[in-house]
Structure 1
Amino acid sequence: MEIQNPLTSSANKQKILIEIAWETCNQVGGIYTVIRTKVPSMVEKWGNNYFLLGPYFPQTATAEFEPIHDLDDSILGKTIQKMRSMGLGVHYGYWLVTGKPRIVLFDLATVTPKLNQIKASLWEKHQVPTLHVEDIVNQTILFGEMIRIFLTELANDQASKAEIVAHIHEWMSGTCIPDLKKDGVKIATVFTTHATMLGRYLAGNVPDFYDKLHTFNWLDEARHYGIEAQATIERLAANMCHVMTTVSDVTARECEFLLGKVPDLILPNGLNITRFSAMHEHQNLHTLFKDRINEFVMGHFFQSQPFDLGKTLYFFTSGRYEFSNKGYDITLEALARLNWKMKQAKIDKTVVMFFITKQPYHSIDPEVLQSRAVMDEIHETCNAIEKQIGEKLFNASASATDLQMPDLNGFIDEYWRLRLRRTIQTWKTNKRPKVVTHLLKNEDGITDYTKKANLLNNPDDKVKIVYHPDFIVSTNPLFGLDYGQFVRGCNLGVFPSYYEPWGYTPLECIARGVPTITSDLSGFGDYMMQIMRDYEQWGVMVVNRKTQDFHKAAEQLSEMMLKFVKQSLRERITQRNRVESISDTFDWSNLRAYYDTAQDLALKRRK
Structure 2
Amino acid sequence: MDKAPVNVDLLFETSWEVCNKIGGIYTVLSTKAKTLQKLYKDKTIFIGPDVWNDENPSPYFVPSRTLLKDWKAQAQFPEGVSVRVGRWDIPGRPIVVLVKFDGMYAVKDSFYGRMWDLYKVDSLHAYGDYDEACAFSHAAGIVIESICQFTGIADKKVIAHFDEWTTGMGLLYINDKMPEVGTIFTTHATCIGRSICGNGKPLYDYLRGYNGDQMASELNMQSKHSLEKAAALQADCFTTVSDITAIECEQLLERRPLVTPNGFEQNFVPTKGKFVPSREAARKTLLNVASSLLGYKMPDDTFIIATSGRCEYHNKGIDLYLDSIARLRENKLSRTVLAFVMVPAWAKEARPELQAALTAKRKSPIGDSVLTHTLNNPDQDPINCRIRGIGFANAKADNVKVIYVPCYLNGSDGIFDKTYYDLLIGMDATVFPSYYEPWGYTPLESIAFGVPTITTTLSGFGQWILSTEDATFSECGVNVVARGDFNYNEVADRIAKSLEYLINSNPASLAMISSRAMNTASLAAWSYFIEYYVKAFEVALNAAAQRIGK
The TM-score with structure 1 as length reference comes to: 0.83
- The answer to whether structure 1 residue 140 and structure 2 residue 137 are counterparts is no
Structure 2 SS opposite 1:341:
coil
Match of 1:109 in 2: 102
Q: Does residue 68 of structure 1 match 2:4?
A: no
**Structure 2 residue corresponding to 1:442, chosen from 348, 353, 378:** 378
Structure 1 residues 542, 453: CA separation in 2 closer, same or farther (over 3 Å shift)?
Answer: same
CA contact (8 A) 2:350 2:414 kept: no
Q: Give distance in 2, aligned partners of 1:586 and 1:8.
A: 22
What is the rounded CA distance, in whole Å, between the counterparts of 1:296 and 1:329 in structure 2? 24
User: Cα distance 1:535–1:170, how it changes in 2: closer, same or farther (>3 A)?
Assistant: same
Going from structure 1 to structure 2, the CA distance change for 1:123 and 1:367 (only over 3 Å counts) comes to same
SS at match of 1:192: strand
Q: Select between 472-481 and 553-562 the one with higher mean Cα deviation.
A: 472-481
**Match of 1:251, SS?**
helix
Aligned to 1:415: none
Once the two structures are TM-superposed, the CA of residue 147 in structure 1 deviates from its matched residue by 2.9
SS in 1 for 2:410: coil
1:480 aligns with 417
1:25 positional shift: 1.4
Contact 2:19 2:48 in 1 (8 A): yes
1:33, CA displacement in angstroms?
Answer: 1.2
Give, in whole Å, the separation in 2 of the partners of 1:447 and 1:326: 16
Cα deviation 1:150-204 (Å, max 9, x = unaligned): 3444454533241101111111111133343345620011111001111111112
Distance 1:433 1:442 in 2: 12
Alignment pair present for 1:119 and 2:112: yes
Structure 1 residues 291 and 353: CA distance shift in structure 2, 3 A: same
Structure 1 partner of 2:548: none
The equivalent position to 1:229 in structure 2, one of 218, 223, 228, is: 223
Distance 2:411 2:144 in 1: 40
Which residue does 2:479 correspond to in 1? 541
| Pairwise CA distance, 1:87 | 7.4
SS of the residue aligned with 1:83? coil
**Deviation for aligned residue 1:559:** 0.7
Instruction: Say whether 1:603 aligns with 2:544.
Output: no
1:339 Cα deviation (Å)? 0.5
Query: What is the rounded CA distance, in whole Å, between the counterparts of 2:47 and 2:410 in structure 1?
Result: 28
358 and 554 in structure 1: CA distance in 2 versus 1, 3 angstrom threshold: same
Asked whether the 8 Å contact 1:152–1:185 carries over to 2, the reply is no
Structure 2 match to 1:558: 496
**Correspondence list, 1:266-277, <5 A:** 266-277=259-270
Residues 434 and 109 of structure 1: CA distance in aligned 2, closer, same or farther (over 3 Å) = same
- Aligned ranges 1:252-263 → 2 under 5 Å: 252-263=246-257
Verify the 8 A CA contact 1:497 1:521 in the aligned structure 2: yes
Corresponding position of 1:191: 185
Asked whether the 8 Å contact 1:89–1:110 carries over to 2, the reply is no
CA shift digits 1:122-168 (9 cap, x unpaired): 23333323246335211222222223333444454533241101111
> In 2 relative to 1, CA 25–432 (structure 1 residues): closer, same or farther, beyond 3 Å?
closer
* TM-score, normalised with respect to structure 2: 0.91
Q: Shift of residue 458 of structure 1?
A: 3.5
Residues 439 and 147 from structure 1, CA distance in 2 versus in 1: closer, same or farther, beyond 3 angstroms?
A: closer
Instruction: Check whether the contact 1:80–1:90 (CA below 8 A) recurs between aligned residues.
Output: no
1:146 partner SS: helix
Deviations 1:16-62 (A, max 9, x none): 21111111112222111111111111000001211111221224754
What are the Cα deviations for residues 353-403 of structure 1, in whole angstroms up to 9, with x where unaligned? 000111113333444344x24xx232xxxxxxxxxxxxxxxxxxxxxxxxx
**Structure 1 stretches of 5 or more lacking a match?**
379-423
Paired residue for 2:447, among 496, 507, 510? 510
Which of residues 273, 286, 291 in structure 1 aligns to 2:284?
Answer: 291
CA distance in structure 1 between the partners assigned to 2:253 and 2:5 by the alignment = 34
> Which residue is 1:593 aligned to?
531
- The corresponding residue for 2:467 is 530
Instruction: Please tell me the residue identity of whatever aligns with 1:442.
Output: P
User: Once the 2 structures are TM-superposed, how far is the Cα of residue 301 of structure 1 from its aligned partner?
Assistant: 2.3
Distance 1:93-1:184 versus aligned 2 partners, 3 A rule: closer
Corresponding residue for 1:316? Answer: 306
Aligned partner of 2:342 in structure 1 is 356
Partner of 1:533, secondary structure, is coil
Give SS of 2:86's match.
Answer: strand
1:287 Cα deviation (Å)? Answer: 2.1
Give the total of aligned pairs: 539
The answer (yes or no) to whether the contact 1:214–1:257 under 8 Å persists in 2 is yes
- 1:460 CA drift (Å): 3.3
> Which ranges in structure 2 are unaligned for 5 or more consecutive residues?
546-550
CA contact (8 A) 1:7 1:46 kept: no
Would the aligned equivalents of 2:45 and 2:95 in 1 still touch at CA under 8 Å?
yes
RMSD (CA atoms): 2.6
> Sequence identity of aligned pairs in percent?
28
Secondary structure at 2:126 match in 1: coil
Are positions 1:334 and 2:324 aligned together?
yes
Equivalences for residues 336-485 of structure 1 within 5 A: 336-342=326-332, 347-370=333-356, 372-373=357-358, 376-378=359-361, 424=362, 428-429=364-365, 434-440=369-375, 441-443=377-379, 444-485=381-422
1:57 and 1:547 mapped to 2: Cα distance? 39
The alpha-carbon deviation at position 454 of structure 1 amounts to 2.1
Query: C-alpha separation between the residues in 2 aligned to 1:90 and 1:301?
Result: 50
Residue in structure 2 matched with residue 419 of structure 1 by the alignment: none
Q: Rg: which structure is higher?
A: 1
Query: Contact between 2:6 and 2:537, CA under 8 Å: does it hold in 1?
Result: no
One-letter code aligned to 2:88 = W
Supply the distance in 2 between the matched residues of 1:473 and 1:148 (Cα, whole angstroms). Answer: 32
For residues 334-353 of structure 1, the C-alpha deviation after alignment (integer angstroms, 9 at most, x for no partner) is 111110113xxxx3411000
Pick closer, same or farther for the CA change 1:131–1:175 going to 2, 3 Å.
same
* In structure 1, distance between residues paired with 2:73 and 2:495: 54
Deviation of residue 99 (structure 1)? 1.1
- Of 214-223 and 316-325, deviating more is 214-223
Match of residue 413 from structure 1 = none
Alpha carbons 1:23, 1:32 under 8 Å: kept: yes
1:244 aligns with 2:238: yes
How far 1:309 moved relative to its partner?
2.5
Amino acid at match of 2:340: F
Give yes or no for contact 1:16–1:49 (8 Å, CA) kept in 2: yes
Task: Find the aligned partners of 2:18 and 2:238 in 1 and give their Cα distance.
Answer: 20
What SS does the aligned partner of 1:509 have? helix
